[in-house]
Structure 1
């Protein structure tokens, strides 16, 4: 019988099945804001065009630099760039890239398209930064951030916006229909459950009338032509495993170069919670290598 979780992930069995709930959302947001204020004192910050702060990790040498817009997770209802500081710093230092981590407005107070508008504004800001190579701009993110990055790629294509060379989607939240489906193996879900997923999507889409657009739920995409190449990573014990693999297949069917990396027995958020585990280190190394290939960094 196969192991329920990857053997490297020692904390999996003790991990909460749901990290946040509607009742704990406000205090959790407050704790993240406090943590950001304390740990982000030395980080450059800029005001995005919609007034949302952007955390900026800028190389010390002159450009032109590749650039990454890296969007934090939190199910569209919470989160903070502080959780992405280590990855952003590593990408800057190891790949010589300018990394921008935007904040964005949260549902349910600010439903679609508020978060996407903030992320798109941050993308346009990034594309205009001095020293950024316009042919080497990537977008990506974790969980809800990965879903927003996929939506950004669609919006930029449809609007003729900043050119995106690559999308890096880490355990992305892509399909609102997952909220209506029976949860797969709910006893192995960690940190993000079917119930909170449904509540988060309901809040984010509360202003949508009629069909859900692909820029809200990228899995609704009918025409993937013209989108940038992608790397998609997800664990097999993740609630988003099915939607991530299906999205990878859709991109491939449209002729979009797409690499899918599935981690057997990994749960949602395993990189954040068990970053020192060999399987997590290997996963992050693969993410960086994908960026390096996309940017042709030598």
Structure 2
């Protein structure tokens, strides 16, 4: 179980959201279930949260399939845009990569998160349905995401996207995949990226930082869950020298040439130390970085307690940074 001192440090409003999660899952959270059942529960919880939202006719979307990696199946994507913007001029483009520890999540689970993003930024957002581990270990997930980015860049004109304002957005496992995609785009020479938004990204399979040992038994992406996620993605390679930087971006020796980055993490998030280290290394490599560490914050706390004051600050900082990076003047946001 978690240390009582850690539990007491959680923001009280966020703690209420964590308690509500435990009422559905028990104190261990999703990690207490088999992976198939984790997927079912994750889908159910997000479906219920989406159903509670008011109707939104300000965003339109369509589901498509796009070419996958060489020799692999096509990739499903959901393309969002502000209603009424077709043919009105190029908009920023964002490739959105859902979280879920590499083992859960889908386009559907993150639908409720993408809708306000499209509205706030006034962008075309492509949400990608990458293959999940353990059925599809590395490099399948990151290569699926990169394939979606290549399609998005190649179809920029048809999609109404400005190819000079192309960004990545991924939280948790999605953040690790986004950072891996940014490395692939740099190393393969295409496409150019304007920005990467990385909320509490999953970056390091080695699990050796102080925070990776500190955050245990908390019932929301703690050490046991993280070990399960990495082992599902990498199998026996997890924690060994056989892991490449596209799977675990913290292992990249050279972080130069990556796009400007926003990174945030809670003080009580298992990813705290690896995220801070990654942000420092980006800055040392000459990459502009905006880093936020939230006292009392836990992993995905803004999703567990969307009405909390801390959650409002988190979402506000992200929206502002993304809008500034993509040169979306306030008067043109939807």
For the residue of structure 1 that corresponds to 2:182, the secondary structure is: helix
TM-score, with length taken from structure 2: 0.81
Q: How does 1:84-123 map to 2 (within 5 A)?
A: 84-123=110-149
Name the CA shift for 1:266/1:114 in 2 (closer, same or farther; >3 Å): same
1:135 aligns with 2:140: no
Which one has a bigger Cα radius of gyration?
2
TM-score, with length taken from structure 1: 0.90
Name the CA distance, whole Å, in 1 between partners of 2:121 and 2:269: 29
Residue aligning to 2:327: 296
Residue aligning to 2:16: 11
The worse-fitting range, judged by mean Cα deviation, of 158-167 and 86-95 is: 86-95
Name the CA shift for 1:194/1:32 in 2 (closer, same or farther; >3 Å): closer
Name the CA distance, whole Å, in 2 between partners of 1:276 and 1:37: 18
Name the CA shift for 1:179/1:18 in 2 (closer, same or farther; >3 Å): farther
For the residue of structure 2 that corresponds to 1:8, the secondary structure is: helix
Name the CA shift for 1:63/1:182 in 2 (closer, same or farther; >3 Å): closer
1:147 aligns with 2:176: yes
For the residue of structure 2 that corresponds to 1:233, the secondary structure is: strand
Contact (CA 8 Å) 2:94, 2:124: kept in 1 or not?
yes
1:257 to 265, 284, 288: 288
Name the CA shift for 1:10/1:35 in 2 (closer, same or farther; >3 Å): closer
Unaligned runs of 5+ in 1: none
Contact (CA 8 Å) 1:36, 1:80: kept in 2 or not?
no
Q: By how many angstroms is 1:180 displaced?
A: 8.4
Unaligned runs of 5+ in 2: 52-59, 69-73, 330-334
1:164 to 176, 184, 193: 193
The worse-fitting range, judged by mean Cα deviation, of 83-92 and 135-144 is: 83-92
1:189 to 188, 213, 218: 218
Name the CA distance, whole Å, in 2 between partners of 1:223 and 1:200: 25
Name the CA shift for 1:32/1:152 in 2 (closer, same or farther; >3 Å): same
Residue aligning to 2:272: 241
Aligned-residue Cα RMSD (Å) equals 2.6
Q: By how many angstroms is 1:36 displaced?
A: 8.3
Contact (CA 8 Å) 2:95, 2:169: kept in 1 or not?
yes
For the residue of structure 2 that corresponds to 1:261, the secondary structure is: strand
Residue aligning to 2:245: 214
Name the CA shift for 1:207/1:155 in 2 (closer, same or farther; >3 Å): farther
Count of aligned pairs between the two proteins: 297
1:275 to 302, 306, 309: 306
Q: By how many angstroms is 1:4 displaced?
A: 0.9
Contact (CA 8 Å) 1:75, 1:144: kept in 2 or not?
yes
Contact (CA 8 Å) 1:73, 1:142: kept in 2 or not?
yes
Name the CA distance, whole Å, in 2 between partners of 1:36 and 1:48: 25
Name the CA distance, whole Å, in 2 between partners of 1:8 and 1:36: 20
Contact (CA 8 Å) 2:61, 2:81: kept in 1 or not?
no
Contact (CA 8 Å) 2:200, 2:272: kept in 1 or not?
yes
Residue aligning to 1:79: 105
Name the CA distance, whole Å, in 2 between partners of 1:180 and 1:258: 21
Name the CA distance, whole Å, in 2 between partners of 1:101 and 1:19: 26
Contact (CA 8 Å) 2:10, 2:297: kept in 1 or not?
yes
Name the CA distance, whole Å, in 1 between partners of 2:236 and 2:95: 26
